[in-house]
Structure 1
Amino acid sequence: MSNNKQRPIGVFDSGVGGLTNVRALMERLPMENIVYFGDTARVPYGVKSRATIETFTAQIVEFLLQNDVKALVIACNTIAAVAGQKVRAMAGNMPVLDVITAGAEAALATTRTNHIGVMATSTTVNSNAYARAIHSRNPDVRVQSQACPLLVPLVEEGWLDHEVTRLTAREYLKPLLADDIDTLVLGCTHYPLLKPLLKAEAPGITLVDSALTTAEAAAQALAAADLLNSGNGSADYRFYVSDIPLRFRTIGERFLGRSMEQIEMVSLG
């Protein structure tokens, strides 16, 4: 596109979860065109080596750059933790936002007691990425992280208000609540769909939705770079995946909160 402001935002994830970030961007920046890539053929990334994750990430970023994006959103905690620097090096001066940085900054702005909890996948917890991001900004904050490996399959099953999910979340929350946190980061792109359930199980705790915080960070970064789309036309959304597995559309539309019309399969690497 000849007009820099009308160029799309590129959003990417190892799978389908990053669509919660697309949803938040659609709501926060309704004029913006968006290109999404989910590496559904090679998910999950969490079990792969750093070198492999960086290789896959470079292929995705190259694809998005070929689609003339004006900004990049890393909507994947694993990629943000392992390959964030790689993405920024490839992007040059382009704004690059990621869920970990945005989530950490929002948690620090929210906490009153300096006791922050993080719910995430085992890979993200083991990477210590949220604690590092928080402590680099305020070393005095206490961070308690909890791996929640069972929540992703429950969300993908659609059990958002199921008793099994409620009991599972309750178990994961126990050590966090025992640590007297006042702020809880939802450190996985699947978890925003569980906000109503988590609010009920952890009353009085402020939830930090990394999808919402990343969308807000994107809005600020685009404004600072004078790249906000001020056009009057309807926004264009394109969805690319490396495989279209069984139930992808059903799960994707649950995450996105609307129908997915333009899904195209592309092969990378």
Structure 2
Amino acid sequence: MNTRPIGVFDSGLGGLTAMHTLGKRLPNETFIYFGDTARVPYGGRSEATLLKYARQDVAFLKSFKPKVLVIACGTVSTTCLEQLQQENSLPIIGVVEPTCLQALHATKNGRIGMIATQASVRSGAYERMLHRLDPDVDVFCHPCPLLVPMVENGRMHRGDIVIETLVKEYLAPLKAKGIDTLMLGCTHYPLLWDVIGKEMGPSVTLISAGAAVATAVETLLEDSHMEAPQTSDSHRSFYVSDEVESFTRNASLFLQEDLHQVVRRIDIDQY
């Protein structure tokens, strides 16, 4: 048994989709969430800049002495995970391997698509992981650079002609490839589940990176006997690097519940 918290970070609000699933599956755990809202989105940054930001995010969360760190950010998971794991002794889980494992389990024709930020697609991390797990699978990746800012600004619902048009344009090349499984390689994208699902149709299975990483964390805690006891006084704390009002206002959409906790702003450049 281990009552230390679980640290979770993302470039902004997207990681809250992972937090939502983690909280449902692990109700006795304490979570510390950091959203780097002052520097969102991460998707178009260079690898050097991403590593600098990720190291600062990790350093802040380590101040709470967590038992596990969750990179609820597809961009950091694809570009910095291995480096961060080498530099830190505590377990660090990213979204790539868990998402790929679920996609391989779901596909029937071996043709898997992935949408994510430009940095995630450029890294080639999903292709490498899928081909390591199954050399015969066909993988098709497509960057969607405008989806994160659209979601962050609340443009995520069916009937919104702007987001529906954008999603249609982004998904057209993947539909043409005949995929039967689509990985949502960014934790913002589950908020677009209905829009993406409508465009891809019922024959394509969607895989959420946030839900996949929650499964991986649950398994790690069980295998390592690090679960918090059922009598644990669990709670959630939220921190951001920019103003708190918009985060607090929009967080309920990502968490699928009202955010009752106080959100605190920190100076991430101190870390």
Q: TM-score range by the shorter chain?
A: over 0.9
Mapped contact 1:6–1:231 kept (Cα < 8 A): no
Residue aligning to 2:196: 198
> Shift of the alpha carbon at 1:91?
3.0
Equivalent positions of 1:251-262 (< 5 A) are 251-260=250-259, 261-262=261-262
Distance 1:120 1:83 in 2: 15
Which string of whole-angstrom CA distances, capped at 9 and with x for unpartnered residues, describes residues 168-215 of structure 1? 222222211111101000011111011122222222101001111110
- Rate the CA distance shift 1:84–1:211 in 2: closer, same or farther, 3 A: same
Q: What's the TM-score, normalizing by structure 1?
A: 0.92
Partner of residue 139, structure 2:
143
Q: Write the distance in 1 (CA, Å) between the matches of 2:49 and 2:191.
A: 29
Residues paired across the two proteins, number: 265
Please state if 1:43 is matched with 2:40: yes
Tell me the CA shift for residue 240 of structure 1. Answer: 1.1
Letter in 2 for 1:213: A
Q: Distance in 2 between matches of 1:232 and 1:116?
A: 42
Maintained 8 Å contact 1:192/1:209: yes
Go from structure 1 to structure 2 and tell me whether the alpha carbon gap of 1:266 and 1:157 turns closer, same or farther (over 3 Å shift): closer
Match of 1:10 in 2: 7
Give distance in 1, aligned partners of 2:12 and 2:191. Answer: 16
Paired with 2:39 and 2:165, the residues of 1 have a C-alpha distance of 31
Corresponding residue of 2:102: 106
Counting only pairs closer than 5 Å after superposition, residues 207-222 of structure 1 correspond to structure 2 as 207-222=206-221
Residue equivalent to 2:180: 182
The reply on whether 1:225 has 2:224 as its aligned counterpart is yes
| Structure 2 Cα separation of the partners of residues 80 and 135 of structure 1 | 17
Unaligned runs of 5+ in 1: none
After the TM superposition, which parts of structure 1 deviate over 3 Å for at least 4 consecutive aligned residues? none
The Cα of 1:221 is off from its aligned counterpart by 0.6
Is the alpha carbon distance of 1:19 and 1:170 closer, same or farther for their aligned partners in structure 2, counting shifts above 3 Å? same
Give the Cα–Cα distance (whole angstroms) in 1 for the partners of residues 83 and 258 of structure 2. Answer: 33
* Counterpart code for 1:157: N
Residue 10 of structure 2 corresponds to residue 24 of structure 1: no
| Match of residue 82 from structure 2 | 85
Aligned-residue offset at 1:89: 2.0
Which stretch of structure 1 is more off in the superposition, 22-31 or 249-258?
Answer: 249-258
When the two chains are superposed, the root-mean-square deviation of aligned CA atoms in Å is 1.7
CA contact (8 A) 1:95 1:222 kept: no
Separation in structure 2 between the aligned mates of residue 87 and residue 252 of structure 1, nearest angstrom: 27
- The unaligned stretches of length 5 or more in structure 2 are none
Q: Using the aligned pairs only, state the percent identity.
A: 40
Secondary structure of 1:181's counterpart equals: coil
Distance change in 2, residues 1:153/1:57 (3 Å) = closer
Tell me what 1:120 maps to: 116
Aligned in 2, Cα 1:61/1:153: closer, same or farther, shift over 3 Å?
A: closer
CA shift at 1:234, angstroms? Answer: 5.0
Q: Which moved more, 1:46-55 or 1:75-84?
A: 46-55
- TM-score w.r.t. the length of structure 2 is 0.91
